[in-house]
Chain A
């Protein structure tokens, strides 16, 4: 029973998901299904934080340390906000709400499992549960050809990345004879396997498989198409949840399993981070579709988040954990505004003169964009400052300068949206009122971003790396 307590949040979510599957055909209203999800997410978060249990379970394969709890809360919040965002959307696109919410719940279960995995196969299981549900979620709007296309592309690239990860796990197991993170590290250092070429290949393949989940260059090709084809709440869920899952896995694998391989691991992450920041930023400049713009921005943010993991120190990992949390709320907020505006929100042209007809919504969008850029009073600044600081402290001055330069370039395309909203003539009528769910989600995201910016140290007590 102590083992079951360790995975209590996952159990809550999967039981609710199965209940939804059983009654799926009889759920007609999206509001009922979505409120189930929100309640389940809240219960999962509460059980993750307050349920007393041992520090690991299932023979040490599932960790229950503070990092695992932190990511459980992050995933539960992402789930609840996504459910709130998608209520009106499900009705508009005639998506069956029961199935959609069950898939959301199961994907979050996978994220939580991956976030607390202390063993490579449990990690793989969690990641697969997440991605298999994500493929379906991306293609769930069956009437739209773009949605189907996005799902197929995501599926093909995703299964390729899963295979890479599995090869990496296989090679690591072959060289060390272990799949538990601590056992891998002790096998590498005690048997002096640090320079074995096969193990290095295994490390690189694991890094590649996880880089796919956070959409880091050169494993980013799925993100723009998947985000554009998916409905906006699903894109928000992917960019917030999938990235946080990948980062959680990278933190745990890098700090525990491949700690003796720190040099090669740092070099790999450094390459991924530099490429992601440069390419994500440069391609985002030329986008005219807001979902694609946010997709390339998420590629660039994957690069910034990796900065904290390059030194391989607990402080750096803690900065990355903060970044994952703050980024989740920024991107949920930005995609939330896109969701609320409906068809108009998809293209940049839809934001012409938005401030004149909908001042509060324009102000919210401005807040999220400022936070994504990293302008001081927001949490985005605090998070970006922390990861760049950790790179500087570890002596990676050139990368830190590059990150600041990329931020400066990124201000161009984020603030271009703000310029369109505030400094151009309005076209057409005011958009329809936001649904209540979307407003609630935006309020939560905005308050986290403002409070996180005002009290930058409030995350420190929570972000304790494994």
Chain B
């Protein structure tokens, strides 16, 4: 456990310094609140959109399709490493696996997930 002592100390000291500065600023700092100071950005312009912005719902489909191919790759890499030792059966099994994934891809395609309109 002793090797973690340094990290623990680091966290404690860092937390203490941050807490000190926040406390000092709130105790010593002058407080003259005015409406512009309470805005999210003190730049004089009114914010007119949420900070995160809005995302088109179409990206959700793209993300889902990404996961499909992501999963495929996760399994293809280790399979490729031991490909020679698996022999013909390994190839057949991987083709079946890809076929199952392609069923999902075909479904998405068939229902127009790839049309950006």
Contacts and interface: CB of A to CB of B under 8 A. Distances in A.
Q: Do A and B bind each other?
A: yes
Interface of A: 18, 21-22, 24-25
A22 B100 CA distance: 11
A220 B26 CA distance: 47
Interface stretch (B15-23, B46-54, B67-75, B103-111): B103-111
A433 B110 CA distance: 37
Contacts of A21: 103-104, 107
B110 A25 contact: yes
Contacts of A24: 107, 110-111
A25 B106 CA distance: 11
Nearest to A99: B107
Given A22-B110, A24-B110, 12 more contacts: A18-B100, A18-B103, A21-B103, A21-B104, A21-B107, A22-B103, A22-B106, A22-B107, A24-B107, A24-B111, A25-B110, A25-B111
B64 to A, nearest CB: 13
Contacts of B106: 22
Interface string B88-117: 000000000000100110110011000000
A399 B41 CA distance: 63
> Interface SS of chain A: helix, strand, loop or mixed?
helix
7 contacts: A18-B103, A21-B104, A21-B107, A22-B103, A22-B107, A24-B107, A24-B110
A42 B52 CA distance: 52
Contacts of B107: 21-22, 24
A22 B103 CA distance: 6
Nearest to B110: A25
B109 to A, nearest CB: 10
A24 B112 CA distance: 13
B106 to A, nearest CB: 6
A25 B109 CA distance: 11
Nearest to A26: B110
A175 B66 CA distance: 37
A8 to B, nearest CB: 16
Contacts of B104: 21
* Max chain A Cβ within 10 angstroms of own Cβ: one of B103, B104, B107, B110: B107
A337 B68 CA distance: 40
Q: 9 tightest CB-CB pairs across the interface, nearest first? A: A18-B103, A21-B107, A25-B110, A21-B103, A22-B103, A25-B111, A22-B106, A24-B107, A18-B100
A95 to B, nearest CB: 15
Contacts of A25: 110-111
Contacts of B103: 18, 21-22
A21 B106 CA distance: 9
A18 B110 CA distance: 14
A24 B100 CA distance: 15
